[in-house]
Amino acid sequence: MTGYLYLGIAIAAEVIATTSMKSLAGFSKPLPLALVICGYGLSFWMLALVVKSIPVGIAYAIWAGLGIVLVSIAAALIYGQKLDLPAIAGMALIVAGVVVIQLFSASTGH
């Protein structure tokens, strides 16, 4: 279970870092820059811990899939990015894929 806690932290840190990139303004703003550097650093550190207990392919699929969806939602809420029907449908398929992996794959190790 610790692996999934670390995975959640890795996903959250990556979402914060990626969402902050839009505010960098050519690396001239210190707060967004710190969020990007610390966020990615924490994310990869947690991923290194995750793969000790969760297979790397499964961990990466969950990290990347949920990261895509959560960054898209954050961008819509923070920056007003518009999500059209194909974008929403695609993200629903990503979430469905993560659910299928978690519920039905013997590769997850649980």
Summarize pLDDT for 87-105 with one digit per residue, the tens: 999 999 999 998 898 888 8
Listed residue (73, 68, 61, 67) closest to 102, CA to CA? 61
First to last CA, the chain: 9
Summarize pLDDT for 13-72 with one digit per residue, the tens: 999 999 999 888 887 889 999 999 999 999 999 999 999 999 898 899 899 999 999 999
H or E segment to which residue 75 belongs: helix 56-79
Q: How far is CA 37 from CA 14, 42, 107, in A?
A: 10, 9, 32
pLDDT at site 26: 81
